[in-house]
Amino acid sequence: MTGKAGDRIVVESERVGQATREGEILEVIEASYGTRYRVRWDDGHESTVRPAAGSARIVSAPKTRRRG
């Protein structure tokens, strides 16, 4: 799973009855121990996350068409 700035991230809850979290990826932070994402969540908060395998999915940002 790789994302880029502008993509959306959807993180599944680890607890029954708790809603999934969705937000916009603001920054991709590469490190020797893995990739982290700085995210602005839909509730307005920002945080840095390093999702575990299978706990999140990336939704690509829609491509914009160039006017020419």
Phi-psi region of 44 (alpha: psi -120 to 50; beta: other; left: phi over 0): left
Please tell me the pTM assigned to this model: 0.81
Is residue 6 a contact partner of residue 24, using CB atoms and an 8 Å limit? yes
Nearest to 47 by CA among 61, 19, 26, 18: 26
pLDDT score, position 1: 59
**For the chain, what are the domain ranges?**
8-59
CATH topology classification for 8-59: SH3 type barrels. (2.30.30)
In angstroms, how far is the first alpha carbon of the chain from the final one?
Answer: 33
> What does the pLDDT look like over 12-44, one tens digit per residue?
877 888 888 999 999 999 989 889 999 999 999
- Tally of CB atoms within 10 A around 9: 20
**Confidence band, pLDDT 50/70/90 cuts, at residue 67:** low
pLDDT score, position 16: 84
